[in-house]
């Protein structure tokens, strides 16, 4: 093993890299054998603001004759159901980005400062990296973006306070007046965009995750993206069962990428490369 310097870690800096935390079992059973990552339905997310489907109420304004005309010409409840169905078709893959570098009180010698990297987030290792016993896969964002089809998109998550949510993602109603003005299809397109925007906003408490998401809509149970040309490196901690180290070494050799151990001790963290 060797210690990593700034030169060694430069390829992971800035917006070059995104990270996916997972268990070692998912890696060896599903990800590496098939060279792919899975997008799951947003309705399975743990955050209620994501997994609850929209319940669109129908609204309109005007005189009695306006209400009669709108209700006779437009089926607001059918449009509401289309929006609900679209949201249930959305699938997402959650990734993590690097943070901005804060140089204050950080050592600036030959060894790299590491707090800003997406692969050394303790809460991410705890929640998504199998209690520090899993794996963090580094992906080239540029290569990932280039190989995604037009059905997929990558969005960076914005973090806000609850009081700011409503004005940004208020899409709870189906407005018959607007549908009459612009037509059903254009209206649905606008509502679908709002549903995507809803997924790009989370509460400030999540901000240190620095999340970005790959999003797509499909009627299938799951969607998948090929990562065979996107993997930049594999990270694991000293909490990983040593039995799996040799497997990760072989995988890293196959992909011709670095395998990096995050050695966590009471005295601090060391970064080693095999």
pLDDT tens-digit readout, 132-143: 999 999 999 999
CA distances from 80 to 54, 190, 217, 221 (A): 9, 13, 17, 22
pLDDT (0 to 100) of residue 114: 81
Report yes or no: 120 and 136 within 8 Å, Cβ to Cβ.
no
CA distances from 4 to 70, 232, 259 (A): 66, 15, 11
String of b and e for 105-124 (b: at least 16 CB within 10 Å)?
Answer: eeeeeeebbbebbbbbbeeb
Q: What are the structural domain ranges in the chain?
A: 2-273
pLDDT band at 13 (very low <50, low <70, confident <90, very high): confident
pLDDT (0 to 100) of residue 67: 81
pLDDT (0 to 100) of residue 1: 56
* pLDDT over threshold 70, residue 217: yes
| Strand locations in the chain (E) | 2-3, 17-22, 36-41, 57-59, 90-97, 135-140, 153-156, 158-160, 173-175, 201-203, 211-217, 223-226, 231-237, 259-265, 268-273
pLDDT (0 to 100) of residue 267: 82
Reported as a single tens digit per residue, the pLDDT across 26-81 is: 999 999 999 999 999 999 998 888 888 877 778 778 877 878 888 888 898 999 99
pLDDT band at 110 (very low <50, low <70, confident <90, very high): very low
Q: Which span out of 99-113, 122-136, 254-268 was modeled with the highest average pLDDT?
A: 122-136
Reported as a single tens digit per residue, the pLDDT across 181-204 is: 999 999 999 999 988 988 998 989
**Is the whole model's pTM more than 0.85, yes or no?**
yes
């Amino acid at each position: 093993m060797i210690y990593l310097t700034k030169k060694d870690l430069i390829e992971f800096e800035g917006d070059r890299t995104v990270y996916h935390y997972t268990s070692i079992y998912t890696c060896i059973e599903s990800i590496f054998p098939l060279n792919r990552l899975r997008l799951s339905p947003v309705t399975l997310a743990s955050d209620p603001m994501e997994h609850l489907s929209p319940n669109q109420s129908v609204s309109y304004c005007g005189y009695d004759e306006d209400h009669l005309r709108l209700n006779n010409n437009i089926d607001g409840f059918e449009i509401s159901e289309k929006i609900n169905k679209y949201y249930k078709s959305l699938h997402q893959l959650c990734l993590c980005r690097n943070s901005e570098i804060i140089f204050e009180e950080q050592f600036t010698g030959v060894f790299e400062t590491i707090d800003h990297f997406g692969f050394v987030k303790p809460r991410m290792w705890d929640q998504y990296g199998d209690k520090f016993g899993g794996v963090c896969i580094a992906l080239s964002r540029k290569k990932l973006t280039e190989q995604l089809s037009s059905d997929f998109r990558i969005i960076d998550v914005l973090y806000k306070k609850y009081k700011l949510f409503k004005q940004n993602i208020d899409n709870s109603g189906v407005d018959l007046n607007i549908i009459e003005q612009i037509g059903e299809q254009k209206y649905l397109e606008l509502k679908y965009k709002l549903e995507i925007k809803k997924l790009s906003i989370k509460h400030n408490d999540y901000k240190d995750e620095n999340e970005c998401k790959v999003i797509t809509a499909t009627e299938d149970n799951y969607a998948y993206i090929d990562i065979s040309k996107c993997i930049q490196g594999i990270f694991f901690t000293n909490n990983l069962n040593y039995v799996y180290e040799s497997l990760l070494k072989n995988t890293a050799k196959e992909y011709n990428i670095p395998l990096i151990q995050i050695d966590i001790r009471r005295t601090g963290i060391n970064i080693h490369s095999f």
